[in-house]
Amino acid sequence: MKPTSCLSFLTALFFTVFAFPVFSDDGDGQTEEIAHESTPAVKSQPDSRRRAATVRLSDEQQKAGGLATEVLNAFAFQPEMAAYGRVVDIQPLLALHVRYQAASTEVEIANAAIELAQKNRNRLMTLHRENIVAGRDLAQAEAQYQADRAKLEAARRLMREIRHEAEQSWGEQLTHLAFDGESRLFRELLSRSRVLLLIAVPSGQSMPSDQRALFVARESDRTLAHQAEFISPAPKTDDLVQGETYFFHAQSNQLRAGMRINAWLPVSGAPLAGVAIPPSAIVWHAGKPWVYRQSDDQTFTRTEITAYREHGNSWFVDQGFAAGDRIVVTGGQMLLSEEFRGDIPDEDDD
């Protein structure tokens, strides 16, 4: 046989062998196709952008993986606007208060002096008309009266200037609290049972006109937030947040002058209905948050959280989930690994 013919024969034989499936005889003359089948634990689309995927685990596998579930309860969420603020040092206001009180005392002294000078002048005027005293004595009394009037006007003008200075920095309402009779709130600020807060809303936003309270806390911890009461708009903006500013007061609760705080302002409108999902239930995949929802004893479906609002130590969700849903709160990452285990190539595969 020629070399060329031999090569053609081998090529034909090769394609004949590998072009057809392998069959085996089952002993009764019939043949069946040999196939390798497996039962995957995951029923899902291969596209990582899919919105849901299902994983099945036996009770033993769930126990070994430490899987824990929780039933979602209905939750009413009041929308809030995040704001920032700081605890204000009232020492400058206190210094103005002291100056104002000193000027007020000077006014009282000047008032007493001018009353005495006026009485003396009137008495000497009567005596002068009766030629009992000389005109020089009356002139001296008049000069003293005018001098005391000037002192009174100067003291009053100083009081007005101090008040205007305070209003420029602290606003009319807070100045009134500090200067006019030492209100109860001002005494509480002095004793540090309450603190003064400067709250700045984000740039371009305003606080509702009927807003009388908000919630504040340190270190963004909404669960520890406590209520603060409105005082007045503030005349100056905050150094860091260039938005509208307002004065509030709150219980000290470990707040110290100069501390930066977070604030939450309730937004007007009806509360939203939804559920609160704990962060431990959330798994991240393809840059998106997901939660495994249990559909039966051994089946778990990965469902995307399309929208959420952070609320304390949970996520408020009003789409895609409902009260009564059972979700995985511990072991979600294990389910994610199990879901994609079949996508990992075997090390022995070439």
pLDDT of residue 60: 92
Residue 311 has pLDDT above 90, yes or no: no
> Which of 11-20, 265-274, 280-289 has the weakest average pLDDT?
11-20
Residue 35 has pLDDT above 60, yes or no: no
Residue 204 has pLDDT above 60, yes or no: yes
Q: Is the dihedral of CA 174, 177, 180, 182 positive or negative?
A: negative
Residue 167 has pLDDT above 90, yes or no: yes
pLDDT of residue 8: 44
Residue 209 has pLDDT above 60, yes or no: yes
Confidence of residue 346 (pLDDT cuts 50, 70, 90): low
CATH number attached to the domain at 45-78+272-343: 2.40.420.20
Q: Could you tell me which of 44, 70, 74, 59 has the C-alpha nearest to residue 332?
A: 70
Contact (Cβ atoms closer than 8 angstroms) between residue 121 and residue 141: yes
Distance between CA atoms of residues 143 and 117, nearest Å: 9
Per-residue pLDDT averaged across 130-154, rounded? 84
pLDDT of residue 231: 96
Which tens digits make up the pLDDT trace of 106-137?
999 998 988 888 888 888 787 767 777 787 87
Q: Would you kindly state where each structural domain of the chain is located, as residue ranges?
A: 45-78+272-343, 82-89+195-266, 92-178
Percent share of the chain, pLDDT over 90 = 54
DSSP codes of every residue in 319-347: SS--TT-EEEEE-HHHHHHHHTGGGSPPT
pLDDT of residue 40: 36
Confidence of residue 52 (pLDDT cuts 50, 70, 90): low
> Which of 101-115, 145-159, 206-220, 269-283 has the weakest average pLDDT?
206-220
**Token code pair at residue 158:** 């100083």
Per-residue pLDDT averaged across 134-158, rounded? 87
pLDDT of residue 189: 94
Per-residue pLDDT averaged across 243-256, rounded? 92
pLDDT of residue 348: 53
- Using CA atoms, how far residue 303 sits from 40, 42, 46, 295, in Å, is 20, 14, 15, 12
pLDDT of residue 9: 44
pLDDT of residue 259: 94
**Token code pair at residue 121:** 């002048």
CATH 1.10.1760 assigned to 82-89+195-266: no
Confidence of residue 82 (pLDDT cuts 50, 70, 90): confident
Distance between CA atoms of residues 5 and 26, nearest Å: 38
3 state DSSP class of 99: helix
3 state DSSP class of 45: coil
Provide the β-strand partners of residue 310: 315
